[in-house]
Amino acid sequence: MSLPVIILGAGGHAKVLIDTLLASSTVIAGIVDPALSMHGTEILGVPVLGGDDVVNEFPPSEVQLVNGLGSVGLPVKRQQLFDRFKGMGYNFATVVHPSAVLALDVVLGEGAHVMAGAVIQPGCRIGGNSIINTHASVDHDCIIGDNVHIAPGVTLSGGVTVGDGTHVGTGATMIHGVTIGEQCLVAAGAVVVSNVDRKTTVKGVPAKVLLI
- Ranges of each domain in the chain: 5-93, 94-196
Catalytic residue at 140?
yes
Q: Are strands 125-126 and 119-120 parallel, antiparallel or unpaired?
A: unpaired
The answer to whether the CB of 33 falls within 8 A of the CB of 51 is yes
Q: Residue 78, SS3?
A: helix
Topology annotation, domain 5-93: Rossmann fold (3.40.50)
- In the CATH hierarchy, which top-level class contains the domain 94-196? mainly beta
pLDDT score for 124: 98
- Residue 99 CB partners (closer than 8 Å, separation 6+): 116, 117
pLDDT tens digits in sequence order for the chain, 212 residues long: 589 999 999 999 999 999 999 998 899 999 999 999 899 999 999 999 999 999 999 999 999 999 999 988 899 999 999 999 999 999 999 999 999 999 999 999 999 999 999 999 999 999 999 999 999 999 999 999 999 999 999 999 999 999 999 999 999 999 999 999 999 999 999 999 999 999 999 999 999 998 75
Q: Which of 140, 149, 167, 176 is catalytic?
A: 140
- Residue 97 CB partners (closer than 8 Å, separation 6+): 20, 23, 114, 115, 116, 117, 118
* Separation between Cα atoms, residue 180 and residue 76, nearest integer Å: 17
* Separation between Cα atoms, residue 183 and residue 40, nearest integer Å: 36
